[in-house]
């Protein structure tokens, strides 16, 4: 696996690049859950709540395991999972925060029937 530093030319974390990649994964993950469970909005909400619960526990390893399991079940690209694991610790915190934010946004839009 390739290590992704997400650093700019000055060696500082490139938050924008991290957030861009995490946003794509979060959106892909949310659409995977919606596609898998579209006829069961209560189950989708339960998954969203579980994601938030595990994320708030502040254990990156546990949260990453939940994300990885969900991604595999939904058939998301293995490259997303590799990217998540390849981040250094500082980048990973930003990555996971953005991922959960985008994941929630899309599942909330589905719940509120803003997506067709």
Per residue in 60-80, pLDDT tens? Answer: 999 999 999 999 999 988 888
pLDDT class for 8, splitting at 50, 70, 90? confident
Average pLDDT over residues 6-21: 84
Which residue matches tokens 């290590």?
3
Element (H, E) at 106: helix 89-111
Q: What angle do CA 22, 74, 44 make, to 5 degrees?
A: 85
Alpha carbons 14 and 5: distance in angstroms, whole number = 9
Q: Flag whether pLDDT at 20 surpasses 60.
A: yes
Alpha carbons 20 and 26: distance in angstroms, whole number = 10
């Amino acid at each position: 696996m390739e290590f992704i530093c997400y650093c700019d030319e000055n060696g500082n974390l490139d938050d924008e690049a991290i957030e861009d990649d995490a946003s794509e994964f979060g959106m892909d993950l949310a659409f995977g859950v919606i596609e898998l469970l579209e006829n069961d909005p209560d189950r989708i909400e339960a998954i969203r709540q579980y994601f938030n619960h595990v994320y708030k526990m502040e254990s990156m390893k546990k949260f990453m395991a939940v994300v990885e399991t969900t991604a595999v079940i939904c058939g998301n690209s293995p490259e997303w999972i590799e990217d998540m694991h390849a981040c250094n610790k500082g980048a990973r915190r930003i990555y996971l925060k953005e991922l959960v934010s985008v994941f929630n946004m899309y599942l909330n839009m589905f719940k509120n029937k803003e997506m067709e």
